[in-house]
Structures are given as C-alpha cells and as structure tokens.
Amino acid sequence: MLTSSLEKTNKGYALAKILTLKYSQYLKKKYFLDFVSLMPANLYGEGDNFDLKSSHVLPALIKKFTIAKIQKKPFVEVWGSGKARREFLNVEDLSLAINFILNNKIRYDYLNIGSGEHYSISAIAKIIKKITKYKGKIIYNKSYPDGVSQRKLDCQKIRKLGWKPKIKFINGLKKYQKYYLDKVYPNENE
C-alpha cells in the first residue's frame, strides 16, 4: 500500500479507504482499541444501485442484458475494452466475514475480504449474456476508460484464520439477475 501513484479514475475512493485505514491504526495504537479495517472486493447483491448513470459495473451489466433480452435489442454496450479484470464479493459473504471477525480475536490492523475469483469484464459480460439467455451482440465502447487494469485482493490472512466465501461468483450472478428481474425491474417500470 502507498508504494505507487493512485489510479486517476479511482483516486478519491482510494484516498478515503487509505485515510480510514490509517486513522483506525492510529486509534488502535493510541487507545488500545480492537479495530480491524476490512477491505472488501467489489461488492454486489440485494439492495444494489441499478441506475445506469451511477451504478457500478455488475448492476449495470445485469440491467443492460436483462432489458436487452426483454426488449429484443440487437446489442448491449459494455463500457471500456472489456480487458480490465475484477474480483467481486457477494454482500452475503461480506456479512459472514464481518460476523467471523467479530467472533474471533484478530491481531491484524486490516484484512482483505475477497472471493478469490477474478474475471475480465469481457468474461463477465459473456457469463451474464448466458444467464439472461440474451442472443444479441456485445459491443465494447472503448471511449470509456477501463480504470485500473486489475483489481484482485490477497486474502491469505483471513483464509488462514478460517474464513472463506460460500457463494461462487456464477451462482451469485444467477441469484443477482433473478433479484433484479423479480424485485427491481418491475418497480422501475411503474
């Protein structure tokens, strides 16, 4: 951490995470508080933001492919080249990790919490296309930035403590798409 410059499309978010971690370390040391900062992978799950103007990549792709399937659109636009790689974690797994940490004595200042599964945006788009049974094309709009080329967490510490995620990414995406289709989509069209 803090060994190179921050990626420009993510700088504000990265700084906020770093400042929180450093402040927690300071409080832990000065006041002997039992703080552990958690650094989760990109999260997805029920309650997510599916607004295409402000959502993250997974809810945007789930929404785009689901609507394209329903409306029989000829293509789905994916922002960027599709080459960037990301690790995702279901919010249910994060809640299990938080519970695990609260119930165990943790000596670390921070822990990365991730799924261990790492996919390109292109691979994710193809998985969602298959889940939604969409038959059209995928078009990559390279005028949008990819952001950081790769985001993958080293989660060895929490794995050694005995925690691991329960939800496989593809299974989580299937449930996530069903959640969008059954619970979110009908309310968007009222």
Place of tokens 């952001």: 147
Burial 29-45 (b: 16+ CB within 10 A, else e): eeeeeebbbebbbeebb
Amino acid at 86: R
108 in active site: no
Question: How far are the Cα atoms of 39, 48, 151, 160 from residue 54, in angstroms, in the given order?
Answer: 22, 11, 20, 36
Q: Count helices and strands (H / E) in the chain.
A: 7, 8
Separation CA 65–CA 98 (nearest Å): 32
Lookup: tokens for 170:
């593809």
Instruction: Return the active site residues.
Output: 13
